[in-house]
Amino acid sequence: MLVHKNVSLAVALLAAGLLVSATTPATASSHTAAASAAESASPTDAQKASSANAAQLGDAATIVCQINADRKARYELPVFVHGVLSQAAADLGNRYANGTFSDTLFNEIYSKSLAPLGGSVYASYKILGSFSSDLQYVRTVEQAVYSSLFAHNLQAIGVFQNAGVYSLVMATGLTATPATVEACPASPVHPYYPPGNNSSNAMNGIDLPSFLCSLNDKRSAASSNAFAVHRVLEDEALQQAKQMVSLGHYTVDGPRKVDQSIYDQNVAVKKLYWFAGDRYTNARSLVELLMASYADTMLDPSYSVIGVAQLGGFWSLIMAELYSSVSVRFACPLSIDEVTFVS
């Protein structure tokens, strides 16, 4: 579940969502009216948005379902979508798209992210484009890397698509795997992440590079600027998560107030927008949840900085528009060192 709140200068402004609450400083009755209207929105609206997104290019469910059907026809076991491999595929795809791809990039990704997944991990990748459908891509990539995709010991894949160009990462020798592998998972796919993975990239309980890469990729597709991380917003998001753990439920309405806490630290912002929820699983799933319900807000180019945190399954995300411009070096950072921080 999630809630959200938006503040423009000193005035609260709410958009419809799953569960929301709103206040204006002068009128308590507006809280009841806004909350009542918002709570009538059904969760099926988010499900419908998710289904609509699944029809677009790069649907991991469509791709892995077809690959597993073709593996089954060859008497091979199904593979699963791995979160770290998906991150690697996204890193490759984004660097390819922005012209910063190099022959040494995959070796760097392997050393930092893939090698720690097992004592004898073997991984390979393939970038192909451009395609007008996921099935067209699958048919082509199966021919291009036939021996790898239909290898008896292949365990997992990661896939990423940008403007019809697909990146695929395949791996064997993984130590941690899911208890069961669903050959044809529903869309959107929830990638498998091994326990305790990416601790070196975690900040405030979230794999920050993975979160930014996933969100900034969607903003790039909408011609919006990439997010930088604002240290005050990041710290406040953690305070909000701690508050929710103490309260035992998620909230955007305090008792610690997001807007007042940020204004008290003399941060010059034009507007703020924040979300909160529970049942956190991983960074990319959080992005998918937010996009399913609040895509217009998440893609709004006026917002330039962000802060996100989770604790005990409760998560908080804060976005802001600043008076000054922000330059982001890496929209899809490979590590914490490549994340753009501002203060």
DSSP string, 54-111: HTSTT-HHHHHHHHHHHHHTTT----EEBHHHHHHHHHHHHHHHTT---TTHHHHHII
CA distance 122 to 120: 6
More confident residue, 312 or 249: 249
pTM of the shown model: 0.52
Residue 18 confidence (pLDDT) above 90: no
Mean pLDDT (the chain, rounded): 79
The DSSP symbol for 311 reads E
Between the alpha carbon of residue 196 and those of residues 112, 155, 193, 284, the distances in Å are: 15, 19, 8, 16
- In this prediction, residue 247 carries a pLDDT of 85
Q: How far is the C-alpha of 301 from the C-alpha of 61, rounded, in Å?
A: 29
For the cut 50, the answer to whether the pLDDT of residue 33 exceeds it is no
Q: pLDDT tens for residues 86-105?
A: 888 888 887 888 788 888 88
**Over 249-284, what HEC string results?**
CCCCCCCCCHHHHHHCCCCCEEEEEEEEECCCCCHH
Give the per-residue pLDDT at 197: 54
Region 243-250: mean pLDDT is 85
User: Range with the lowest mean pLDDT among 11-15, 75-79, 164-168, 247-251?
Assistant: 11-15
